[in-house]
Amino acid sequence: MFRGFIFATGIENSIPTINNGRTRIDEMEKCGHYTWWKRDFELVQELGINFLRYGPPIHRCFLGQGHYDWSFPDQTLPELRLKKIVPIIDLCHFGVPDWIGNFQNPEFPELFAQYAKDFAKRYQWIQLYTPMNEMFICALFSAYYGWWNEQLTTDRSFVTALKYIVKANVLAMKAILDVRPDAIFIQSESSEYYHAENPKAIKPAELMNERRFLSLDLNYGRRVESEMYEYLMDNGLTRDEYHFFLENNLKRHCIMGNDYYITNEHRVSADGSTRASGEIFGYHVITSQYYDRYRIPVMHTETNIQQGPNGDEAVNWLWKEWANVIRVRNDGMPIVGFTWYSLTDQVDWDTALRENNNRVNPLGLYDLDRKIRPVGEAFKQLISDWREVLPTQSVCLNVPIVMPGDNRSIKEDNRKAEAAEKNDKSTPSLLQAEKSRP
């Protein structure tokens, strides 16, 4: 049983579509992970990291209702287990398979829940999950800013995407718990704040600061504020849909992951338009707002910044974020982990994946040649310095994580998976699955 602080990184696995669905931005492909996955796992070990945010590519695995291609996770996940790296499984990261369409599809939540359940059955040794990554950002970028997937720009399309994304997350959690009752769900959600730049901007800023909580309010079964209730109802949420969220509260199984980047704070103008403000409050202040609202354990699940011309920009940001984590903890909030996201550099995030430029963004602990960056060296040292001396506030606050190999042998699980596959007549070949697509 693991009883320490969770130091983590991640393999960037965003897969939104752009150009009205004609182009898929697959970050695992752009960053070379499909080719270099074994080396990437070795790099995680070299850093002294035991936890990895990791997501098998849903668009390659989920071929149709009840039809799967598990070939890639069948290669990679056993390797993580052999290396005693705990995966935090990220099942859906900003995109869905082509045959589902986009986040306006009302069938998506149930389809995704079945995918999550079948995944959990196949890999029963996995305990930690992020079913839907950054639910608020996914709905905002896809259905309000018009950048990804459905590329819509109305309040109604935003509410539609949000309710289906959060419902998919809730149903997936329930489905996984049916298979693994001790599963723990780490919500990776963007922690936002909107600053009014003048008195006339106060009202729109207040509305945005309430809207930022909608995904977690619904996910945790918290009654929304009256103005947000009217907003949801005016834009297509029904009373029955609202009560579904109130009645399916799985908060006790969750850790609230708060992601923070320098782009998470915004200046709001009187007309409601926004632009980046840079860091004003910072992770500590904004995470405190989220914790005060939901009162569950928290984790810093994403941060990064580009290595700039001086070479120490990312190192300084790492230090600043870690100082914020310590401040959160010292203020009495139960914070259980910290993540630099991601392991390697990313591609095209300078345009928020809206353009397919293949431009490398130096955000990783390693570059795309798998050479360590200064921030990688600094993170490795930070982990070494703090792993043993970071005191535990209480034995009651330890996260009950079963480490790979603690509860079942790999050979036993492999035999079970092979037996299940032989008995499952609904699992066709890749060619058959292609033919069965709607």
pLDDT over 80 (residue 108): yes
How sure is the predictor about 428, in pLDDT bands with cuts at 50, 70 and 90?
very low
**In Å, what is the CA distance from 220 to each residue of 185, 223, 224, 292?**
12, 9, 11, 14
How large is the average pLDDT for residues 225-231? 97
Give the CATH number of the domain where residue 275 resides: 3.20.20.80
Sign of the CA dihedral with 339 first, then 400, 135, and 123 last: positive
The percentage of the chain sitting over the pLDDT mark of 90, rounded to a whole number, equals 87
* pLDDT mean across residues, the chain: 93
- Say if CB 31 and CB 10 are below 8 A apart: no
Burial of 118-132, coded b for 16+ CB within 10 Å and e otherwise, reads: bbbbbbbbbbbbbbb
Domain presence at residue 341: yes
**In Å, what is the CA distance from 410 to each residue of 77, 83, 126, 407?**
11, 12, 12, 10
The percentage of the chain sitting over the pLDDT mark of 70, rounded to a whole number, equals 90
pLDDT over 60 (residue 419): no
User: pLDDT of 172-188, one tens digit each?
Assistant: 999 999 999 999 999 99
d(CA 23, CA 17): 5
Domain presence at residue 148: yes
Please tell me the predicted confidence (pLDDT) of residue 412: 58
Domain presence at residue 51: yes
How large is the average pLDDT for residues 233-239? 98
3-state secondary structure of 286: helix
Question: What is the count of structural domains for the chain?
Answer: 1
d(CA 113, CA 354): 28
Burial of 369 (0-12, 13-18, 19+ CB in 10 A): exposed
Please tell me the predicted confidence (pLDDT) of residue 242: 98
How sure is the predictor about 398, in pLDDT bands with cuts at 50, 70 and 90?
confident
pLDDT over 70 (residue 56): yes
**In Å, what is the CA distance from 28 to each residue of 198, 222, 234?**
42, 35, 39
**Which range of residues forms the domain containing residue 46?**
6-436
Domain presence at residue 1: no
d(CA 291, CA 284): 10
Q: Could you tell me the pTM of the whole model?
A: 0.92
User: pLDDT of 122-146, one tens digit each?
Assistant: 999 999 999 999 999 999 999 999 9
Read off the DSSP letter of residue 272.
S
pLDDT over 90 (residue 410): no
